[in-house]
Amino acid sequence: MAYVRVEEGESIEHALRRFRRVVQRENILRDAKRHAHYVKPGERRRAKQAAARRRWRRRQRRMMVEP
């Protein structure tokens, strides 16, 4: 759980900025999005394969451009 102590005389904006940094560093939002809804194992596998195909195509395009 991410938390930030507000120091004496510290502005709320500064504390909020520090809190956002902590949340980003701990990947809390990414985990929340991942757990937002259930994804079947087959769907997860197909998405992973599609991402691999996109990466491969992108890599191939770069190789064609940079001989």
Tens-digit pLDDT profile for the chain (67 aa)?
888 999 999 999 999 999 999 999 999 999 999 899 999 999 999 999 999 999 999 999 988 877 6
Residues 32 and 42 in one domain: no
Residues 1 and 32 in one domain: yes
pTM of the model as a whole: 0.54
Spatial neighbors of 61 by CB under 8 A, at least 6 apart, are: none
- Are 21 and 48 members of one domain? no
Contacts (Cβ under 8 Å, ≥6 apart) of 19: 2, 3, 4
If asked whether residues 23 and 51 sit together in one domain, one would say: no
DSSP-assigned states of every residue in 7-66: PTT--HHHHHHHHHHHHHHTTHHHHHHHTSS---HHHHHHHHHHHHHHHHHHHHHHHHH-
Residues 3 and 32 in one domain: yes
Structural domain containing residue 4: 1-36
Residues 42 and 67 occupy one common structural domain? yes
